[in-house]
Amino acid sequence: MEKKLSIAIDGPAAAGKSTVAKIVAEKLSYIYIDTGAMYRALTYKAIVNHLNLENEDPLLDTLLATEIELLPSENGQFVYLDHRDVTNEIRSSIVTNSVSIVSKHQKVREEMVRRQQAFATEGGVVMDGRDIGTHVLPSAEVKVFLLASVEERAVRRHTENLQKGFPSDLEKLKEEIARRDKIDSEREVAPLKKADDAIEIDTTSLTIPDVVEKIMDLIHERIG
């Protein structure tokens, strides 16, 4: 039987990570784990509970008392927080604009990484995030770092919002994406960074099938 690999896909906001990770996982019949959804779920709960997002210990206590489940769905995955479906709530702009504060905290990250690694003990996983190749799955057989210009990424999110019938402001999206990238890249603990052995793919002028094909080629090279 073919060896089941671990595949790490990292990169900045709206680079296309979850879209391509999900397709690659489907092609391989692997599980897909969107680690950003886990940070978003904790952020959502912290906001609902009026926690100060700068205070690490109450956030960690909340996380330790929280069950976050990721279940496959047609459009990616359902996210359950303490058995309640929060798939849509965790994509709200208040969560998006707060999540990078929550994900700065070392103890919160340690617990998240512990849970993420537990999903991957058997291999056969495609995981996307910011620190998968560098910290969560440093031995992943395939590591990809997806990039795209901030303009292109804002346009992608804008198009997605309009398609869903959500209000959207392109200039504001550009600012929010750039601000989140800056916090994620500059934090002390496990910042957004390409792993030394990751393959960088600039997706600015690539379609989704183009990116999937490039990643599948890398996987086939590894499988030999």
- What is the contact surface with ligand CDP in residues (CB under 6 A)? 11, 13-19, 35-37, 39-40, 99-100, 103, 129-131, 156, 160, 180, 184, 203, 206-208, 211
Buried b / exposed e across 45-81, counting CB within 10 Å, b at 16+?
bbbeeebebeeeeebbebbeeeebebeeeeebbebbb
| 22 belongs to an annotated ligand binding site | no
Closer residue to ligand CDP, CB minimum distance, 69 or 160 = 160
| 8 belongs to an annotated ligand binding site | no
| 11 belongs to an annotated ligand binding site | yes
Residue 86 CB, nearest distance to ligand CDP (Å)? Answer: 13
Strands of 31-34's sheet in order across? 31-34, 125-129, 6-10, 142-147, 199-202
Closer residue to ligand CDP, CB minimum distance, 4 or 193 = 193
Closer residue to ligand CDP, CB minimum distance, 132 or 219 = 132
Measured CA to CA, the distance from residue 51 to residue 44 in angstroms comes to: 10
Residue 199 CB, nearest distance to ligand CDP (Å)? Answer: 16
* Interstrand relation of 68-73 and 76-81 (parallel, antiparallel or unpaired): antiparallel
- Encoding tokens for residue 81? 């927080």
| 13 belongs to an annotated ligand binding site | yes
Annotated binding site for ATP: 11-19
